[in-house]
């Protein structure tokens, strides 16, 4: 059985959980307080970041993008199940470009700061970087999300799914990051109808249910968070 | 023919150039002043970053990691040439982990700040983020490189190449980033003999020669930069 070292509201961890759920692969979820920099954890991933996937017979797999490639390359190929990364080169480029857009760019500009400031910092000591949320950082993230939402809306209006005809890693990455931000009530859904409709489609997939049922102690989700008709 | 939009001292661009040279794939190099955010360039890569690889019949390929995967998946397989990404899962994980270590972590902590502050900012207007180098940023990068060099040395002492028995994307990524920093004279080679010996091996490969022969107007390389016996 696989083990995923993760945090419930970490968008990169959620991306991996969605991939595993889409492929119906079981994994044990273990919360890792990566900010504590446990020695045993740093041996598994010297970079000190989550998520990390532990599988038998191979080194620990660190990072959303590398885990996604690993799962794609090793999943049992089932005739009824479409892969989340297309077969042709052009399609692979576009899916990887958009997955990286969300896992790297959106994470740096929006979901990373919001989750760090509003969630992770509560658990950190001052030496670990804890303290009250940095309001300038929150303000920047809430400003930045608007152009990302417009970009998602533009993609959703021109294609069936974000990277093309089929659901792919691009949709799961975008939806994972939005789900963390939406839990915190920071997605201005009224700004882009096409983005909202696309998110409602991803949100209603069975793979999404575990994320919607998750509630953190002391941080209740936004009222509409688990609502499929928001 | 492929086209690579790049900057001569950008370590991520150098990583791609090394891969192409190892596989003996020709590409036209075009300098992109990405900080000018040309409209035509943003159409090719909305993220506004370099490198971007342009190939016929597929969308533009943005970013070092995605370009590396693309080249691996589409290169003509030649019997005499070993791939830079191993075939087995465990090896792929380790190569991708280390390539990301250098392309993401080392870039964020060392090579990105050094090249931005000392090279790119010279060409930028104030609105584009130009101005004199930020000394705090340079100091932090020069401090951070020391633990990275120790990590490279530790890997080089325990393995033949950084990720295992064979030259891989991990070596090219590490060497590409070090080469940019070395051009600027900011690698403290005397701190780790194993790292230095490993770098000398990569540096003496034919794929490295074009990088060593490159000189930027107004920014002469460190004296030992092109020296194979430094």
Name every chain B residue with its beta carbon within 8 A of the beta carbon of A47.
Answer: 101, 105
Q: For residue range B183-200, list pLDDT tens digits in order.
A: 999 999 999 999 999 999
Name every chain A residue with its beta carbon within 8 A of the beta carbon of B73.
Answer: 89, 92
What pLDDT is stored for residue B61 in this prediction?
Answer: 98
Distance (Å) from the alpha carbon of A96 to chain B's nearest alpha carbon = 7
- Give the chain B residue nearest A67 (alpha carbons): B93
Nearest to B59 among A66, A73, A94 (CB): A94
Q: Averaged over A31-59, what is the pLDDT?
A: 97
Q: For residue range A7-43, list pLDDT tens digits in order.
A: 999 999 999 999 999 999 999 999 999 999 999 999 9
Name every chain A residue with its beta carbon within 8 A of the beta carbon of B90.
Answer: 57-59
Q: Taking a C-beta distance cutoff of 8 angstroms, is the pair B228, B34 a contact?
A: no
Name every chain A residue with its beta carbon within 8 A of the beta carbon of B96.
Answer: 66, 69
Beta-carbon separation of B73 and A89 below 8 A: yes
What pLDDT is stored for residue A165 in this prediction?
Answer: 95
Q: For residue range A138-194, list pLDDT tens digits in order.
A: 999 999 999 999 999 999 999 999 999 999 999 999 999 999 999 999 999 999 999
Most B CBs within 10 Å: which of A51, A68, A74, A93, as the mutation test of the B interface? A93
ipTM confidence score: 0.96
Question: Comparing A73-87, A89-103, A155-169, which segment has the lowest mean pLDDT?
Answer: A73-87
What pLDDT is stored for residue B80 in this prediction?
Answer: 67
What are the angstrom distances between the C-alpha of B105 and each of A74, B56, B61, B95? 26, 32, 21, 15
In chain A, % of residues over pLDDT 70: 99
Evaluated on CA atoms B173, B37, B52, A97, the torsion sign reads positive
Q: Taking a C-beta distance cutoff of 8 angstroms, is the pair A117, A138 a contact?
A: yes
List CB contacts of B93: < 8 A, sequence separation 6 or more: A58, A59, A60, A61, A66, A70
Beta-carbon separation of B105 and A47 below 8 A: yes
| More reliable by pLDDT, A228 or A15 | A15
Q: What are phi and psi of A82, to 5 degrees?
A: -80, 145
What pLDDT is stored for residue A202 in this prediction?
Answer: 98
A186-200 residues labelled b (16+ CB within 10 A) or e (exposed) = bbeeeebebbbebbe
What pLDDT is stored for residue B230 in this prediction?
Answer: 86
Give the A:B interface size as CB pairs under 8 Å: 66
Beta-carbon separation of A90 and B57 below 8 A: yes
Name the packing angle between helices A64-74 and A169-183 (round to 10°): 140
Most A CBs within 10 Å: which of B85, B96, B98, as the mutation test of the A interface? B96
Name every chain A residue with its beta carbon within 8 A of the beta carbon of B158.
Answer: none
What pLDDT is stored for residue A76 in this prediction?
Answer: 80
What pLDDT is stored for residue A80 in this prediction?
Answer: 67
What pLDDT is stored for residue A229 in this prediction?
Answer: 86
- Give the chain B residue nearest A73 (alpha carbons): B89
Kindly list the structural domains of chain A, giving each domain's residue range(s) and its CATH number in brackets, ordered by start: 2-74 (3.40.30.10), 89-212 (1.20.1050.10)
Q: Which H helix or E strand runs over B187?
A: none
Q: Which residues of A touch B (CB under 8 A)?
A: 46-47, 57-63, 65-66, 69-70, 73-74, 89-90, 92-94, 96-97, 100-101, 105, 151
List CB contacts of B1: < 8 A, sequence separation 6 or more: B26, B27, B28
CA B43 to CA A199: how far, in whole Å? 25
Distance (Å) from the alpha carbon of B113 to chain A's nearest alpha carbon = 16
Name every chain B residue with its beta carbon within 8 A of the beta carbon of A105.
Answer: 47
List CB contacts of B157: < 8 A, sequence separation 6 or more: B194
SS3 readout for chain A: CEEEEECCCCHHHHHHHHHHHHCCCCEEEEECCHHHCCHHHHHHCCCCCCCEEECCCCCCEECHHHHHHHHHHHCCCCCCCCCCCCCCHHHHHHHHHHHHHHHHHHHHHHHHHHHHHHHHHHHCCCCCCCCCCCHHHHHHHHHHHHHHHHHHHHHHHHCCECCECCCCHHHHHHHHHHHHHHHCCCCCHHHCHHHHHHHHHHHCCHHHHHHHCCCECCECCCCCCCCCCC
Helix (H/G/I), strand (E/B), else coil: B2: strand
Average pLDDT for runs of 10 along chain B of length 230 = 97 98 96 98 98 97 98 84 90 98 98 98 95 97 98 97 97 98 98 98 98 94 92
Q: For residue range B5-23, list pLDDT tens digits in order.
A: 999 999 999 999 999 999 9
């Amino acid at each position: 059985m696989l083990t995923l070292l993760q945090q419930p509201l970490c968008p990169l961890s959620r991306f991996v959980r969605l991939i595993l759920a889409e492929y119906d692969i079981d994994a044990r979820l273990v919360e890792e307080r990566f900010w504590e920099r446990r020695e045993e954890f740093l041996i598994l991933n010297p970079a000190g970041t989550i998520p990390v996937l532990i599988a038998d017979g191979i080194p620990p797999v660190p990072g959303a993008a590398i885990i996604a490639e690993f799962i794609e390359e090793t999943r049992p190929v089932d005739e009824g199940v479409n892969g989340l990364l297309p077969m042709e080169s052009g399609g692979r480029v576009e899916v990887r470009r958009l997955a990286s857009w969300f896992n790297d760019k959106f994470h740096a500009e929006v979901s990373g700061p919001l989750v760090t400031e509003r969630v992770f910092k509560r658990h950190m000591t001052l030496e670990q970087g804890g303290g009250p949320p940095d309001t300038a950082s929150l303000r920047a993230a809430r400003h930045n999300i608007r152009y990302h939402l417009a970009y998602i809306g533009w993609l959703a209006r021109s294609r069936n799914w974000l990277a093309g005809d089929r659901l792919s890693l691009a949709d799961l990455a975008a939806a994972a990051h939005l789900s963390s931000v939406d839990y915190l009530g920071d997605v201005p859904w009224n700004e882009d109808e096409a983005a909202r409709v696309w998110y409602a489609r991803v949100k209603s997939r069975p793979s999404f249910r575990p994320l919607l049922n998750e509630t953190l102690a002391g941080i209740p989700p936004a009222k509409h968070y688990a609502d499929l008709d928001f």
